[in-house]
Structure 1
Amino acid sequence: MKINESAAGLKFRKFNRFYTNVLGFLNEHIYDSPFSLTETRILFEIYNTPNCTAKDLQDKLVLDRGYVSRMLKQFEKEDLIYKEKSKADARHHYIYVTETGKTIYKKLEKKANEQVELMLKEIDDEKQHKLATAMEEIEAILSQSLSSKTSGISIRDYYLSDDIHLLIEKQRQFYAEAHGWDNTFLAYLHETFDAEIEKIWIAESGGKFAGCVGLVKQDKKTVQLRWFLVDAAFRGRGLGTQLLEHLVTYSREMKFERIYLWTVSSMAEARPLYEKFGFRLSEVKEETSLWGQHLTEERWDLELS
């Protein structure tokens, strides 16, 4: 008899809650050590990944850039890791485990094996084999399912405080790397989130940030488009169009009469998309020194009424 989708979903969530408790057995101060589960995973990846970089850790473990940076600084302070500049590209640093780090890692690995043996101690050989087979089947089925959906992107229209920190960092990183804007832009970014936020849309894929856009309310009739960004890994897939569709549709439903945005003339790649949705250039300011560059600001407006 085929299990219907809702029943399967309930069983999946029940198992997930149970297995979360199993992981809790190893979590927090894992293996009676001062390391959390995530810290142990970071050390594991550095130990087992040739020429590991901070970006490798972010991507593989789906961790925030700031969190990884803080952990690496702490690991350096404790003499667990060291960094070396890449000879091919001085902007990149490879991360390696020190002799002290190797010693601690091997102790953690030994303790991990002991705890697994402890969990299996009361299970007979036949049931251990059955358990291992079931685990392999779960991994195979979910791996196939997840790999077939890696291109899927979801967009949510709510945000948490951690999302604001991530959006600020993503914006800072993009404009620093792509346009050379300096740290004065970071202070400006923080100020923009002090406004009356109407809505923020965040796009994600496989738990990773893919893009965002937001609305700031100016008055009952007018909203400002802000924080429009598509991550480099997701460009060329129509995500920018999807984000703006959500924003414009919402603005019409809420009976706003005008959406406007400020950009700079050097960001020409966004112009066709703004024009596609009916935005028109309405104001151009004189070139000025801004965020470490000479920039010409532009205002674009979309009339909804």
Structure 2
Amino acid sequence: MTVQDIRAFNRFYTNVIGALDYSRHLYAPYTLTESRVLYELAHSPRTDAADLRGELALDAGYLSRILNKFEQDALIERVPSKEDTRRRHITLTAHGRETAALLAERANESVGALLSTVPAADRPRLSEAMRTVREILSEGRRPRREDVLLREPGPGDLGWIVQRNAALYAAEYGFNADYEGLVARIVADFAEDHDPHLERVWVAELDGRAVGCVMCVRDDAPGTARLRLLLVEPDARGFGIGDRLVGAVVDFARGVGYRDLVLWTNDVLTAARHVYQRRGFVLVAEKPHRSFGKDLIGQDWRLDLHGTGE
């Protein structure tokens, strides 16, 4: 492997992707860089200009012009941070979310068109080659918080949520198959009947693999959303993924008009409870019970979305 080998591959790959983008008018009416900013905002529910500059390596002036354009187009809102009034949080408006979703749909269609030219028998080999390049070039570099992507679930991800919840809770807390049955019912209910405007699933991805998840669904109580199935893989802990997942649910629930956000957990889930407390949840009730083959103390937590919490 030589420098020229890498440069040759880079030219080839750039030409393929560039031709694909151009032929599909992928980002119209926005540029590639503007679309990248919009993508980051769609997958980071709360961020500010400093975060975007660091994640995308953009000049401050250039980014400011992009954000001004987005504001003029009613794609974003900027509000002062409660933690630091010198910084302003940037969030997508409903129109911004629709625009980001449209660009994502175009991108998926374009990549799908490219993939359709690859014989089915060669696709696993292509996927493995791409994963190998990513892993080798990432060796020796500790992942960063900004390397974690929050995205919507793709094919197979809902099944992964059931499998990983069952496996991790059995390994870490000794839960039996009853817990897997509960998770499977929750996920099946969401898959079969959910309102995409009011309910959502997030998958946290790091280095091309799923490492966490959370759900936001409607509760039986009017105006109330329920947070469910928060999970972070053991080897991905320490990057603030749990906090980002919970923050995504809080921002989403508040943004679509819920008044309250509730959740049920058990007292043995210490790390998760700390995340909920940092996000402003308040313990409202607890009760001993025997479930999943264990004696537990169930806890109900609530967050007033119109209050002063995050």
Which bin holds the TM-score, normalised by the shorter protein?
0.5 to 0.7
Greater RCO, 1 or 2 (C-alpha within 8 Å, sep 6+) = 2
Q: 1:281 & 1:205 partners in 2: Cα distance?
A: 31
- SS in structure 2 of the partner of residue 266 of structure 1: coil
Measure how far apart 1:159 and its partner are.
2.4
Measure how far apart 1:210 and its partner are.
1.2
**Residue 162 of structure 1: which of 150, 156, 166 is its match?**
156
Q: Match of 1:241, as an amino acid?
A: D
Q: How does 1:133-152 map to 2 (within 5 A)?
A: 147=139, 151=144, 152=147
- SS in structure 2 of the partner of residue 204 of structure 1: strand
Counterpart of 2:212?
211
TM-score by length of 2: 0.54
Counterpart of 2:233?
231
Structure 1 window deviating more from structure 2 (229-238 vs 187-196): it is: 187-196
TM-score by length of 1: 0.54
Measure how far apart 1:11 and its partner are.
4.6
Measure how far apart 1:149 and its partner are.
8.8
Q: Match of 2:213, as an amino acid?
A: C
Counterpart of 1:9?
17
2:148 is the alignment partner of 1:153: yes
Structure 1 window deviating more from structure 2 (182-191 vs 256-265): it is: 182-191
Q: 2:112 & 2:291 partners in 1: Cα distance?
A: 51
- SS in structure 2 of the partner of residue 296 of structure 1: strand
Q: Return 5+ residue gaps in structure 1 as ranges.
A: 31-36, 42-59, 63-137
Q: Match of 2:230, as an amino acid?
A: F
Change (3 A) 1:149 1:275: closer
1:128-182 deviation digits (Å, cap 9, x = unpaired): xxxxxxxxxx9998677555695411111x2245211110001101111100001
Measure how far apart 1:247 and its partner are.
1.1
Q: Radius of gyration: which is bigger?
A: 1
Counterpart of 2:281?
279
- Is this contact kept in 1: 2:134–2:207, CA < 8 A? no
- Is this contact kept in 1: 2:226–2:261, CA < 8 A? yes
Across the two proteins, how many residue pairs are aligned to each other?
A: 196
Q: 1:159 & 1:266 partners in 2: Cα distance?
A: 28
Q: How does 1:112-261 map to 2 (within 5 A)?
A: 147=139, 151=144, 152-156=147-151, 158-160=152-154, 162-193=156-187, 194=189, 197=194, 198-218=199-219, 219-261=221-263
Q: 2:273 & 2:131 partners in 1: Cα distance?
A: 45
1:265-294 deviation digits (Å, cap 9, x = unpaired): 111222221111110100111x22211111
Change (3 A) 1:184 1:139: closer
